[in-house]
Amino acid sequence: MEEEKILKFYDSLVALLQKNKTDYNSFDEFVTAFLCGHELGDTGVCTTEFYESLLITSIAFFNQLHGDGNNKFNMHPFDIIDEAYYDNLRKEYVTENVLGYRRLLFTSQFARELNSKSNSYAYLMVQNARPEYLGIYKEFGKLKEIIRQGWVKRKVNPDFNESDATHSLQMLALASVCFRLYPLEHLDKQKVYEMIIIHEIAETIVGDIVENSDEHLTKSEKERIAVHKIFANLQYKDYFINLWEEFESRKSEEAKFVYELDKLDPVLKARYLDKELGRDDLFDDFYDYEEKRGTFIDTPLQKLFYSNMY
């Protein structure tokens, strides 16, 4: 039952993101909260609850724009999973919690102004006071421009190609619904969300290197050098570098879980694209690869992965 909900949720989520692929600001907002929370010390915007609030309000906004035609502000597709939980979370941050609502508005506005091509006041202020912060913000922004090569390699219709930022948003949403439906209380949710935000950052320098290529042999070392370079000038560089290193090492339970999500997302996306594009090869390709590699043997998401074969 849980797996059916997640598969239905994922298809609905991807359909909305596909329609918003050129104009969404959600990833920018996550990056803003992540960096403000640690580099600028606003810890109220880097909590589990805040990240989830950003996620559901963004998706609800997409649904208003491209949903089923009704104008009600709702939690589709999150209501497929647990309507009461997500609706209550929205109320806590948008309706009843004045401070939470102001933080959501600030994060959204700050993200837009830092992306402003007209040199907004916030942009100029940060540029003058903390140029290194603006530099790292722009670095994360490049993830919206990096097209994931697995889909290019498989000649997917270019209209359905995805960026690293889109992939990360899909992972954030998957993490949230898995936290609702599976017994994952042992995981630090905030760390999981932040590891997802940062896990592709090295690709802004080295690019998306596909597996089973000659370049993949030196991928890890190239990415490690890139991450140290990217965060070198930040006050709290050690936090960001260590978080990325933790993901790469896959020694912590959080890192193992994020790795699972990183590999599960393409499998679910391939399943969606086969249906959407009338193909019959993408899912089998991704599914068979991960099955042979044993990625989901004795893992929290094993049941979800194997439910896809039906």
User: What letter would DSSP give residue 217?
Assistant: G
- Reported as a single tens digit per residue, the pLDDT across 128-158 is 999 999 999 999 999 999 999 999 999 999 9
Q: Which amino acid is at 65?
A: L
173: nearest Cα among 1, 278, 26: 26
Distance of alpha carbon 63 from alpha carbon 17, whole angstroms: 10
Is residue 46 predicted with pLDDT exceeding 90? yes
Residue with more model confidence, 302 or 72 = 302
The domain that holds 145 is classified in CATH as: 1.10.3210.10
Pairwise pLDDT comparison (71 vs 223), residue with the higher score:
223
Each residue's pLDDT tens digit, 215-227: 766 788 889 999 9
Structural domain boundaries enclosing 276: 2-307
Give the span between the Cα atoms of 132 and 138, in whole angstroms.
10
In this structure, of 46-55, 117-126, 164-173, 293-302, the range with the lowest mean pLDDT score is: 117-126
- Report residue 190's pLDDT band, with 50, 70 and 90 as the boundaries: very high
Of residues 26 and 246, more confidence is placed in 246
Query: Could you give the CA distance from residue 57 to residue 60 in angstroms, rounded to a whole number?
Result: 5
**Regarding predicted confidence, which is higher, 100 or 199?**
199
Supply the pLDDT for residue 66. 61
Position 309 scores a pLDDT of 62
Q: How high is the pLDDT of residue 75?
A: 59
Mean pLDDT over the full length of the chain: 89
Check whether 71 has a pLDDT greater than 90. Answer: no
- CA-nearest of 58, 231, 13 to 132 is 231
Determine what percent of the chain is predicted with pLDDT higher than 90.
Answer: 69
Backbone phi and psi for residue 163, each to the nearest 5 degrees, phi listed first: -90, 170
Q: Would the pLDDT of 69 be above 70?
A: no
Nearest to 262 by CA among 203, 174, 142: 174
Which DSSP helix (H) or strand (E) runs through 269?
helix 253-277
Q: What is the mean pLDDT of residues 158-171?
A: 94
pLDDT of residue 241: 97
Query: What's the burial of 96, exposed, middle or buried (CB within 10 Å: 0-12/13-18/19+)?
Result: exposed
pLDDT band at 22 (very low <50, low <70, confident <90, very high): low
What percent of the chain clears pLDDT 70, i.e. is strictly above it? 92
* Total domains, the chain: 1
- The SS3 call for residue 73 is coil
